[in-house]
């Protein structure tokens, strides 16, 4: 394992979460908060930041303690660690940003059940050094945050004609209410997945062409 870690590039570990292995657009993980709270850009960013905090802290702790966690009960301990950080995030948000907390409500505690977070602990943090675990978590959480923002801003712009609560189109714009309702979440997610895969495909073709010319 140590030799593998040495060959890995820390920045590459971070970048893979943002693009190549994006938790939302490529792995399609964490769909529950993704669809539920992306009805406005602010909610999406708040949720993304809460998830960022939980994922990075949990990966740090799990990676740091991997030697003393018995492997038979590792999943339970990961869940305890994640749940503790989620509670910390929940109370902090409630104390500092009560208005945002009111909007996100039930979905903050549900970060515990976000499979992206547990997945990173089991698949990565528990097998790699603290440095790589944190880099990986930052990348994955950053990718999640970007995807949340992409969905939240598209839905807010079309569904309310606003971005961050600022009106964009003036009085005559008729909001597409469906975009901030659950079906709008699925539609937007589907279209963004399509776009993401299309761009990926084009990139592959381009690289193949370049290789052929060479």
SS3 50: helix
Min CB(65)–other proteins separation in Å: 9
Residue 73 found at the interface with other proteins (CB under 8 A): yes
| Rounded Cα gap, residues 139 and 127, in angstroms | 17
Min CB(212)–other proteins separation in Å: 35
Min CB(22)–other proteins separation in Å: 23
Residue 194 found at the interface with other proteins (CB under 8 A): no
Max alpha carbon distance in the chain (Å)?
Answer: 62
Contacts of 52 (CB under 8 A, 6+ apart): 138, 141, 142, 144, 145
Indicate the residue among 28 and 80 with the shorter CB distance to other proteins. Answer: 80
| Rounded Cα gap, residues 183 and 65, in angstroms | 42
| Rounded Cα gap, residues 4 and 13, in angstroms | 13
Instruction: Report residue 97 as tokens.
Output: 């940003």
Q: Which of 3, 7, 67, 95 binds other proteins (CB under 8 A)?
A: 95
Q: Which of 27, 31, 127, 200 binds other proteins (CB under 8 A)?
A: 127
Min CB(200)–other proteins separation in Å: 27
Segment near other proteins (CB under 8 A), from 6-14, 47-55, 85-93, 141-149? 85-93
Segment near other proteins (CB under 8 A), from 5-13, 18-26, 93-101, 140-148? 93-101
**Alpha-carbon distances, residue 86 vs 6, 13, 38, 47, 114 (angstroms):** 32, 24, 19, 11, 11
Q: What is the DSSP letter of 40?
A: S
Indicate the residue among 30 and 152 with the shorter CB distance to other proteins. Answer: 152
Q: Which of 111, 160, 161, 189 binds other proteins (CB under 8 A)?
A: 160
CA 157 from centre of chain: 21
Size of site (CB under 8 A) for other proteins: 33
| Rounded Cα gap, residues 30 and 65, in angstroms | 25
Residue 1 found at the interface with other proteins (CB under 8 A): yes
Residues that bind other proteins (CB under 8 A): 1, 39-40, 68-73, 76-77, 80-81, 83-84, 87-88, 91-92, 94-96, 98, 102, 105-106, 127, 159-160, 175, 177, 180-181
């Amino acid at each position: 394992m140590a030799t593998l870690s040495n060959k890995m590039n820390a920045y590459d570990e971070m970048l893979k979460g943002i693009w190549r292995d994006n938790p939302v657009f490529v792995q399609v993980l964490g769909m529950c908060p993704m669809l539920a709270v992306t009805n406005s850009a602010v909610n999406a960013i708040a949720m993304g930041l809460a998830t960022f905090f939980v994922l990075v802290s949990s990966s740090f702790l799990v990676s740091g303690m991997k030697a003393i966690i018995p492997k038979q009960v590792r999943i339970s301990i990961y869940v305890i660690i994640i749940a503790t950080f989620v509670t910390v995030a929940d109370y902090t948000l409630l104390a500092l940003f009560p208005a945002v907390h009111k909007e996100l409500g039930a979905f903050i505690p549900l970060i515990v059940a976000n499979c992206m977070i547990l997945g990173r602990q089991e698949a990565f943090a528990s097998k790699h050094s603290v440095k790589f675990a944190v880099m990986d978590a930052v990348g994955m959480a950053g990718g999640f945050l970007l995807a949340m923002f992409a969905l939240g801003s598209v839905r807010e712009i079309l569904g309310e004609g606003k971005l961050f609560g600022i009106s964009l189109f003036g009085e005559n714009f008729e909001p597409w209410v469906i975009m901030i309702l659950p079906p709008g979440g699925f539609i937007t997610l589907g279209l963004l997945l399509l776009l993401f895969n299309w761009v990926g495909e084009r990139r592959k073709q381009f690289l193949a062409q370049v290789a052929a010319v060479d």
